[in-house]
């Protein structure tokens, strides 16, 4: 299923947020032309070398794309980009604050020249505002958004272990572009999608924000446990392995007390009747639950929790995720080519094609000559641009 197979996306992208958005579009069939700097390319190519010498970040978010290296500060390089934009459906950029406007690639100018073009700007904090020109990497936005204040243990805050602010912005850019394509189908006009990492992350913080509404105490940092629902989190079994479990309602709580704890009277104990009471007395209740887990191996605990039944989970390592039986049963792993050979790649969530689109992760500038020829440059002109480092 490639519903975007007739859509062309030109992207001045780097790092994670914009490449993640455009990879979602590419997974749905869009042609994505990734514009990179000659010689260096997207700096995420050099973040690490963990995937057969390639960057783990880069191979994750750049399959199904074509790589064009062109210096847009060179007049002929900018001419190449403008030729591409004249035929494109979508333009995405996440350059440094103000860089697109200074290059003549702002929404107003592009819309005047190409009324059907959808322009998506992804930034750290958005424009205008006092933070408009601030550099914004993922950890900075996790900090500014308040995410760090609710993540970690009581003693120490912690960043989320993935680039969550980048990912949030990328997904809002992706959904915004899809909406803009639908709107263009009705009106014939392109529109402006303006996504900031700060706003995307704060949107995802809706629960703790409202929990702390009007000066109320914020939810405490609770490590791997839920901050306000209890019991909901990790418990250590007698063999030292950790089991995650969760009680969501009073029916589950009563069954858990009877079938797992062997103490049905706890279900109606005034200290534990209702989530608010359990959360207020989590230290005492936690000791009771921990003692029961200590009498069991992790396998025994999981078997009992399944029989209750209440939600539970293994705490998997990343190595175990590669071998996860559910992903295998649903045939979610496929192969994608890279400059270093084939690697496994997860099929796009939501798509159920037997063979999802898995075009290669491009080498730097791999498609440059073909794209330049496509926009009308002769072989001699391409050679001249190459010789002077403009492509």
CA 384 to chain centre: 40
Q: Which residues are part of the catalytic machinery?
A: 166
Tokens 């107003």, residue located: 108
Residue 309 φ then ψ, to 5°: -95, 145
Neighbours of 53 (CB within 10 A): 11
Residue 243 φ then ψ, to 5°: -120, 135
- Identify the burial level of 18 via C-beta atoms within 10 angstroms of its C-beta, where 0-12 means exposed, 13-18 middle and 19 or more buried: buried
The span from the first CA to the last CA of the chain, in angstroms, equals 34
Beta strands 31-36 and 65-69 are parallel
Distance CA 228, CA 278 (A): 9
CB 330 within 8 A of CB 343: no
CB 296 within 8 A of CB 304: yes
Helix and strand element counts for the chain (H, E): 17, 11
Buried b (16+ CB within 10 A) or exposed e, 276-311: eebbeebeebbeebeebbeebebeebbebbeebebe
Task: List, in order, residues 6 or more apart from 330 with CB less than 8 Å away.
Answer: none
Task: List, in order, residues 6 or more apart from 147 with CB less than 8 Å away.
Answer: 160, 164, 165, 201, 204, 205
Tokens 């000066």, residue located: 215
Under the phi-then-psi rule, with left for phi > 0, alpha for psi from -120 to 50, and beta for the rest, what region is 124?
A: alpha
């Amino acid at each position: 299923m490639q519903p975007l197979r007739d859509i062309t996306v030109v992207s001045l992208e780097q790092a994670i947020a914009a490449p993640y958005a455009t990879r979602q579009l590419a997974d749905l069939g869009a042609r994505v032309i990734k514009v990179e700097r000659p010689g260096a390319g997207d700096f995420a190519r050099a973040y690490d070398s963990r995937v057969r010498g390639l960057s783990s970040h880069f191979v994750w978010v750049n399959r199904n794309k074509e790589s064009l290296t062109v210096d847009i500060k060179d007049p002929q390089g900018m001419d190449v980009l403008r030729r591409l934009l004249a035929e494109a459906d979508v333009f995405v950029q996440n350059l440094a604050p103000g860089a697109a406007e200074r290059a003549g690639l702002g929404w107003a100018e592009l819309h005047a020249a190409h009324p059907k073009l959808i322009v998506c700007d992804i930034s750290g904090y958005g424009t205008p505002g006092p933070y408009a020109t601030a550099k914004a990497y993922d950890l900075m936005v996790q900090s500014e958004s308040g995410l760090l204040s609710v993540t970690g243990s009581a003693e120490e805050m912690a960043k989320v272990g993935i680039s969550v602010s980048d990912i949030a912005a990328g997904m809002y850019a992706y959904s915004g572009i899809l909406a803009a394509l639908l709107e263009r189908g009705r009106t014939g006009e392109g529109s402006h999608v303006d996504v900031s990492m700060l706003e995307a992350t704060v949107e995802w913080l809706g629960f703790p924000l409202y929990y702390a509404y009007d000066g109320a105490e914020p939810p405490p940092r609770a490590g791997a446990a839920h901050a306000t629902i209890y019991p909901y989190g990790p418990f250590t079994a007698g063999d030292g392995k950790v089991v995650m479990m969760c009680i969501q309602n009073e029916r589950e709580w009563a069954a858990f007390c009877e079938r797992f704890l062997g103490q049905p009277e706890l279900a109606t104990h005034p200290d534990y009747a209702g989530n608010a009471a359990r959360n207020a007395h989590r230290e005492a209740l936690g000791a009771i639950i921990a003692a029961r887990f200590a009498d069991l191996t992790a396998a025994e605990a999981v078997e009992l929790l399944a029989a209750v039944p209440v939600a539970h989970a293994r705490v998997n390592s990343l190595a175990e995720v590669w071998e996860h039986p559910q992903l295998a049963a649903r045939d979610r792993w496929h192969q994608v080519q890279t400059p270093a050979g084939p690697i496994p790649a997860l099929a796009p969530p939501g798509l159920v094609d037997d063979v999802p689109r898995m075009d290669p992760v491009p080498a730097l500038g791999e498609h440059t000559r073909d794209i330049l020829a496509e926009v009308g440059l002769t072989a001699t002109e391409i050679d001249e641009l190459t010789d002077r480092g403009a492509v």
